Structure 1
Amino acid sequence: MKQGTFIKESNILFKDFAKQWLPTYIERTCPEPGTVRLRKYGINKLLPYLAHIKLKNISEEMFQEALDDLKASNLAKSTLEGILATGKMIFDMAVHKKLIREDPVKKAYIKKDIKVIKETNEDDQKKQDEDLPNYFEKEELKVFLDAAKTNGLYMDDLIFTMLAYTGMRVGELVVLKWNDIDFTKRTVRINKTYYSEYNNIAKYELVLPKTEKSKRKIVVSNLVIELLKKHKEEQEKIIARLGDSYNNKGFIFTNIKSHQGLPILTKLVENRMKRLLKLANLNTKLSPHSMRHTHTSLLAAAGVKLEDIKERLGHFDDAITRKIYLHVTDPVKREASDKFDNFMESA
C-alpha cells in the first residue's frame, strides 16, 4: 500500500461488467454496426460460462475451458477469434480500471486442429468438386442476362450485368453513387457498403468495407458504361417527374415507388434474381453472390492471374476464390503437360 501498487479487487460479476463495458467500447471506438453486433454476440457466448462469476475469481484455466468448449461446438475459427477478441477487450479494461490484478485472458488461445494428410481417391475428388459454390457457366450466364434484358423489371438489366461484369458484392452495388462512376476512364469506385439490420429501406447506413483491400477502383466494359448512361437518362426523367418527393442523394439504384431516391434493399436484388432464374429455367439455388463466383470463374478461364482477380474482387485472400480458380485452371494445366509430352515424343 505504501508503494501504491496494491489493488483492492472488485466483487462485480462478469455479466454486470460486460454490460457496463459495451457502451464505453462503442463511445471510445465508434465501431461499425456489424462490429457492435459481433461484440454483443461474443458477450452472449461467454455468459453461460462466466455470467455469475466475480471478475476477480475468473482464472486463466476457466476462460480457456470456456473457449475450448465453444470450439468443440464446431464454431468457425473466425467466430472464435471474435469471441476471444471480445473477452480480451473486456478484461483489459477491467485491469485498466484496477478492478482485477491480473488479466486471465492474456494467454488465452484457440486450439489448432491436428492436420492429417489423407489419401484422396476418385470419390474424394468428386466430393471436393461438389463442394464448389454454385456459379453460372458462360452459356448459362448469357441465358440469364438475356432474361434480365427481355423479361427484367426496372433496372434488372443494369443490376445483373454489373454484378456479372464486375464481381462486386451486392452490398457494394446498391450504394454506388453517380460520383463513383468515371464515364471517360470507364472506372467504378467502390469505397462503401450497405447496412440495414432489419431490412428497413428508411433505416440504412453507409459503412466502410470490411478491409482496406475492399476499397478499390475497377475498370469496366463499354457495355456497362452504356447501360449506366441509359439508366442515368431514365433516372433524370423520373426525378423531374417526382420533383421534391424524390430524395436525391446521388444513388444509382434507387426506389421509385416509396422512399424515392433511397438505395434499394439487397433483399430486392435477391428476389429479382429468383424471379429471373425461374423464368429462364436455371438453377434457383443461385444468388446474387453467385455472380461474384461466376466473375471469378470466367476471369480464370480467360487467363487472368489469381492475384489480379483477388485485387479486382477486393479481398486479400479468399479460400473460395482460390478453389474456383484452381478448379477452372486445372484443365489448362493438364493441357500444358500434354503439350510437353507431345513435344518430347515428336523430338
Structure 2
Amino acid sequence: MAQFEKRGDKWRFRITYKDDQGKRRIYSKSGFRTKPEASAAAKKAEADIKQTVKRDNNILFMAYIDQYIEIYRKGKVASNTLDADMYAKSHLDKFYTDKFLKDVTPTLHQEMINDLITNEFSLSTIKKVNGLVHRACEKARRDGLIIFNPAEFIEYDIRKIKKKEKLQYMPTDKIKPFLDLVRKRDVMQYFLLKLILETGMRIGEACALTFEDIDRANQLIHVTKSYDQKKDELGPTKTGNERSIYITKNQSNELFKLLQIHNANKIVNADVYHNKYKFIFVNEFGTPIPRSTIYNTMMHCSEKVLGKGNRLSAHKLRHTHATIMHESGVSMRDIQERLGHKDEATTRNIYTHFTDKTKREAFDKLEEYLKNIY
C-alpha cells in the first residue's frame, strides 16, 4: 500500500515491498503537483513491481555496464563519446566492483556520487558518470532486471563540487624555457610540440602529418587527417573539414631538418626501421611517438617551468596558440579557420577568456576615448 506525503507544494509517494529474496525494499518518487497525480503514478509503480520478473538475480552491476557499452555504444557512437563512457566506467569500477545490479539502490548510488564530490571531481565528470549509469539502468529496467533506475533522482551539492578551471595556456615568457627543456629531453618531441604551439593543430592532426603534407614553396601545411593511436587508425579531422595552415619560414626550415633526421635514421636502423604511415613524428625506428610519452613530457616540462602543481597538456599548447593570435590582433574569424572549428561561434564559446594584457589594452583604449568626451 502506497503512502503519500506533501513536501512543500509537491507530493511524494512511498511504496514498501519485499523483493524475491524476502528483503524489505522501499521505492519512492516525488515532484507531483497533486495527490491524485501521485496516486495514479503509485498504482502504476505497484503494478510494475508485481509484474516485474527478474531474469538474472546475480548479474554483477559492472558486468551489465560492460554489456550495455558493448551492445548499445560500440560502433554506434563516435570514438570520443565511447572514450567518455570508458572514462566514466573507470570511476564506477572503484565503487561497484563486487555489487550486484539488483542491489544498486538510489541511496547507494548517491553515496557513490557523494564520494566523487568529496574527491573534488568536476561537475562535468560527475554528470558523465551518472549519465552512463542512468542510460544503462534504463535498459536494465526495460529488460525487467530492476524495478527503478537508481540514477534518476541524483542530487549534486554544487557548493562542494570543484569548479571548472579557467582555460589554461603557456605564458609567452615561459614558451622558450619550456621548449628548451623539451629539446633536452627528446628532440623529436621538441619539433612536435613547437609545431603545435606555432600552428594550433590538434595533437592527432600533428601526429598524422607526412612530408607530403608540407608545401615548402608556399609555406603551407595541409591538414587532411588525424591519427588515433589507440586504434592505430587514420581518420578525418575532428570536424571532418580539411584546411591549410601558413607556417613561418623558420618552421618550414625546421621541418626540412626533420627530413634529414629521418633519412639518417633509415640508414642507421635499416634492418629494423619501419614507418608504416610515413609519419613525420616518429622515433629512430619509425614508430609513432606514444601519446603516454608526450603526456609525461608535457607534465614534467610544464611543471618545471610553471612551478609545482601547474601542469599543462599538449592540448593546452593549442589554446596557447589561440591566445597568442588573439593578443596579436588576429580576428576571431581567422582564428576559427586556423584552428579548424566548424564555425566562429564555436571559437567564441571556447575562447571566452581574455588575458590580463588584452583586458588592460581594451581599458586603455576606452580611457583614451573618454578623455575626448569629458
Q: TM-score range by the shorter chain?
A: 0.5 to 0.7
Which whole-Å CA distance do the structure 1 matches of 2:299 and 2:333 have between them? 32
Q: Does 1:297 align with 2:323?
A: yes
Q: What are the Cα deviations for residues 110-150 of structure 1, in whole angstroms up to 9, with x where unaligned?
A: 536379xxxxxxxxxxxxxx97746232x55456668888x
The equivalent residue for 1:262 is: 287
- The Cα shift of 1:277 comes to 8.6
Which whole-Å CA distance do the structure 1 matches of 2:133 and 2:274 have between them? 43
Q: Does 1:80 align with 2:88?
A: no
The equivalent residue for 1:344 is: 373
The equivalent residue for 1:25 is: 69
The higher-RCO structure (CA 8 Å, 6+ apart) is 1
1:42–1:332 Cα change, 3 Å: same
Which whole-Å CA distance do the structure 1 matches of 2:257 and 2:142 have between them? 58
Q: What are the Cα deviations for residues 149-186 of structure 1, in whole angstroms up to 9, with x where unaligned?
A: 8x786446633431220233545533434455455571
**SS of structure 1 residue aligned to 2:195:** helix
Which whole-Å CA distance do the structure 2 matches of 1:179 and 1:27 have between them? 40
Q: Does 1:7 align with 2:23?
A: no
**SS of structure 2 residue aligned to 1:74:** coil
Which whole-Å CA distance do the structure 1 matches of 2:101 and 2:180 have between them? 63
Q: Which has the higher helix share?
A: 1
Q: Does 1:41 align with 2:90?
A: yes
- The Cα shift of 1:261 comes to 0.9
Q: Contact conserved, 2:206 with 2:226, CA < 8 A, in 1?
A: no
The equivalent residue for 1:158 is: 191
Which amino acid is 1:227 matched to? E
- The Cα shift of 1:306 comes to 4.9
**SS of structure 2 residue aligned to 1:219:** strand
- The Cα shift of 1:24 comes to 5.2
Which whole-Å CA distance do the structure 1 matches of 2:142 and 2:335 have between them? 44
Q: What are the Cα deviations for residues 164-217 of structure 1, in whole angstroms up to 9, with x where unaligned?
A: 202335455334344554555713426435556xxxxxxx745879x9459763
The equivalent residue for 2:136 is: 90
- The Cα shift of 1:327 comes to 2.9
**SS of structure 2 residue aligned to 1:162:** helix
Q: Contact conserved, 2:219 with 2:248, CA < 8 A, in 1?
A: no
- What is the aligned length? 306
1:232–1:27 Cα change, 3 Å: farther
- The Cα shift of 1:271 comes to 6.8
- The Cα shift of 1:241 comes to 5.0
Q: What is the TM-score of this pair, normalised by structure 1?
A: 0.66
Which whole-Å CA distance do the structure 1 matches of 2:112 and 2:296 have between them? 40
Which whole-Å CA distance do the structure 2 matches of 1:26 and 1:181 have between them? 40
Which whole-Å CA distance do the structure 1 matches of 2:95 and 2:301 have between them? 44
Q: Contact conserved, 1:45 with 1:83, CA < 8 A, in 2?
A: no
**SS of structure 2 residue aligned to 1:304:** coil
Q: Contact conserved, 1:163 with 1:291, CA < 8 A, in 2?
A: yes
Which whole-Å CA distance do the structure 1 matches of 2:302 and 2:146 have between them? 58
- The Cα shift of 1:299 comes to 1.2
Q: What are the Cα deviations for residues 20-55 of structure 1, in whole angstroms up to 9, with x where unaligned?
A: 44045235533647446314324225528xx54652
Question: Percent identity among equivalent residues?
Answer: 21
1:240–1:71 Cα change, 3 Å: same
Which whole-Å CA distance do the structure 1 matches of 2:287 and 2:106 have between them? 50
Which whole-Å CA distance do the structure 2 matches of 1:296 and 1:100 have between them? 49
- The Cα shift of 1:337 comes to 0.6
Which whole-Å CA distance do the structure 2 matches of 1:205 and 1:227 have between them? 27
